[in-house]
Structure 1
Amino acid sequence: MKLCSISVFFGLLLSGLLPQASEAQALSKPAFDRDTDLLLVQMDCKTDVDDIHTAAALYMLMSHPEFKNLSYLPVAGTYGVQEGLYVPPGEVLDLAFGKKWADADANRAKALAQVYKRVKKTLKSGGEVWIAEAGQSDFSALLIREIQSSMPEVALAERIHVVQHSNWNEEVTSKESLAFVKSTIDYHKIPDGNAVGNGTPGFRTPGYSQWEAQLSDPKLKAVWQLAVAVGLRYNGIDGRYDNKAVAENGLDFSDLSEVCYILGLSEIKDTDEFFNRFAQ
C-alpha cells in the first residue's frame, strides 16, 4: 500500500467513516453457497438452556421459504470439558426435525459417523462445510481429524469453516482441540450474540413474550412452546446455569448469531427483528 493510501485509510478510521474491527468482521459475509454447501449446527446443551431456544429458532429459520432447499444438520451434545448437567434437547429436536439430527450425547461415535457421512457427500460433490459452533470445538476436532484421515485430498483450510461467537465456549474446549481446529481449518470468531449492536444479531432478550402472538403456523408455535417449556423446566435446576433472560420469561437463542453470520444475515438487530422477519 502506498504511503498516501495509508494516510487516507487512518484518516477515515479516526473519523469514524470506516467500521471498527468487530463490525468489519461481521460485515465481511462468508461465501456460503446455498446450492452446494452444508450447514452443521452443533449445540453443546450443557449446562445452559439457550441451545433449546436456539434449536427452535433454527427450525423457524429453516422453515422459511428463503431457506427451504438449504442442506443442514443439527447436532446435539457437542460439549467440551465444562462441568455440570446436560439439558436434554430430544423432545424439541424430535418435534422440530424428526429423526434428522445427530445425538452426540447418547453416542458420540455414532453421531460422528452420521455427520461425517453428510460431510463426505458434500465434499465429494464440490461443496464446503460450515459449522455453527453453538458450544465447544471438541466434536469439530474429531470430525476434522476424520476428514483429514479419510479424505487427505481435501484442502481443509479452504473447505471447512467454523464460526464461534463465545469466549466461554473457547475456554471450556480442551486446549488441544481448540488449537488443532484453529490451526487446521478456516476459523471465524465473531462478536457475541448475547449483545445487541456489536455487528452481529443480539438474541438474548429478557421478558420477550410477544413471540407467541407473532406465530400463526401451528407447528412453529408448538416447537417454540415446547422449547420455552423445556427451557424453564431445566433452567438453573440441579446446578445448571441460571439463564436470567429465560428466568425472566424471555428468550435466549444467542448461538443462532453464528448461523446468521454464515447465511449473510448479520444485519438483523435483535430478537424482535428476527421474529418480524421469519415468523409465519
Structure 2
Amino acid sequence: MCLKTIISLFLFTCTTNTIAQDKSNIAAKFQLDKDLLLVHYDCKTDVDDLHSAAAFVTMLSKPKYLDLNYFAVGGTYGMQNGLYVPPNSLFDLAFGKRWVDAHNAYDKALKTVTLLSVKALSLNGNIWIAEGGQSDFTFDIIKTLRKAIPNLDTKRIHVIQHSDWNEEVTTPEKLDFIKSAATYHKIPDGNSTQNGTPGFRSEEVFPWAKNIKDKHLAKVWELAIQLGNQYNGLENRYLNKAIEKGGLDFSDFAEVCWILGLEKLEDTKAYFEFIAEKD
C-alpha cells in the first residue's frame, strides 16, 4: 500500500480534518497539548549530536515534558563529506522506539515521520523541527506531505536552524525551497553564549553526574560521552575541540530550548541546574 493511500485512510478515520488551516491560526510557539517536535541529528561528522541527544532526553524527565509529543531521526545529513558517527546504541537507550534511522533505512524513516506528521496536523497541531544538522531530510518530508495532501498549508511546519555551516552543506535548492515553503527560523548559534539563545559548548570538564540522579539517564550520558570520545576525530571525522578537552557539546539542543521557551538556560551550568531543580 502506497504512502498516499495510507494517509488517505488515516484522514478518513479522523473525526476532524484540519490539514488545511488558515495562516492566522498558525501557532507562534510550541503547543504542548497538540504539536509534534521532530529532533533531527545529522551525526556526520561531528559527535555533538550524541551529547545533544542526551541533553534532550534528560529534559524529557521533567514533569512538564513527560507527555511531550516527539520523535527523533538519526542520519539527517546533507552534502558534507566525512564518515558517519553511528548513534544507534545511544539512541536505542535514550529514545527506545521513538527514533528512526535515516542513515540505514531512509525510506522507512521518511514514511514513519510523514505518518506521525499527518497525525499531528490532522489533530490541529503543528510540526516543529529542531534541525541538528542539515535540512535535506526535511525537504523530503515537506515534499512527501505536499504530494499526499495537496491542500496542506506547509507554513505549519516550523524549521529551526542555528548553524551557518549546517545551512552551507544543505543542498542549496532544497534549503531555498524550505525557506519558502515552511516557516523557517534561523536562531543564534548554540555554540556561543550571550547571543540570545543558550550556548551549550564548553571546554571545561563539568561534573554533570552530580545533577543526574536517575540511573537510566546517567547511563545515557555515560554512553554519549563514551561514544563521543571514541569517534571524535576518528578516521578524519571532525575533531570537536571542546570534547577533546573533556568538555561537553550539546549545542544542537539550543534549538529545542528556543522552541520550548527555555532561552533563559544560558549555558551548560544553567542547564544542569535546571535539570536538578525540584518541580
Scaled by the length of structure 1, the TM-score of the pair is 0.88
Matching residue of 2:131: 133
Matching residue of 2:236: 239
Question: Could you say what secondary structure the match of 2:60 adopts?
Answer: helix
Query: Moved runs in structure 1, 4+ residues, more than 6 A?
Result: none
Matching residue of 1:224: 221
Kindly report which structure 2 residues correspond to 1:36-185, keeping only aligned pairs within 5 A, or say none.
Answer: 36-157=34-155, 159-185=156-182
Matching residue of 1:34: 32
Q: Deviations over 1:200-222 (max 9, x none)?
A: 00000112331012211101111
Matching residue of 2:200: 203
**Using the alignment, how far apart are the partners of 2:86 and 2:97 within structure 1?**
15
Scaled by the length of structure 2, the TM-score of the pair is 0.88
1:274 CA displacement: 0.4
Indicate the percent of aligned positions where both proteins have the same amino acid.
Answer: 51
Q: Label 1:161 to 1:276 Cα distance change in 2 as closer, same or farther (>3 A).
A: same
Amino acid at match of 2:168: E
**Using the alignment, how far apart are the partners of 1:128 and 1:230 within structure 2?**
34
Q: Does 1:254 align with 2:256?
A: no
1:30 CA displacement: 4.1
Question: Could you say what secondary structure the match of 1:191 adopts?
Answer: coil
**Using the alignment, how far apart are the partners of 1:229 and 1:209 within structure 2?**
15
Amino acid at match of 2:250: F
**Using the alignment, how far apart are the partners of 1:76 and 1:166 within structure 2?**
18
1:79 CA displacement: 0.1
**Using the alignment, how far apart are the partners of 2:97 and 2:123 within structure 1?**
24
Runs of at least 5 residues in structure 1 that lack an aligned partner in the other structure: 1-28
Amino acid at match of 2:189: D
**Using the alignment, how far apart are the partners of 1:95 and 1:179 within structure 2?**
35
Contact 1:30–1:263 at 8 Å: present in 2 too? no
Q: Deviations over 1:189-240 (max 9, x none)?
A: 0000000100000000112331012211101111000000000000000000
Amino acid at match of 1:144: I
Matching residue of 2:211: 214
**Using the alignment, how far apart are the partners of 2:28 and 2:197 within structure 1?**
13
Question: Could you say what secondary structure the match of 1:63 adopts?
Answer: coil
Matching residue of 1:267: 264
1:99 CA displacement: 2.1
Contact 2:211–2:275 at 8 Å: present in 1 too? no
Amino acid at match of 1:229: Q
Q: How many residues align?
A: 251
Q: Label 1:240 to 1:203 Cα distance change in 2 as closer, same or farther (>3 A).
A: same
Q: Deviations over 1:78-124 (max 9, x none)?
A: 00000000000011111111122011001111100010110010011
**Using the alignment, how far apart are the partners of 2:219 and 2:237 within structure 1?**
25
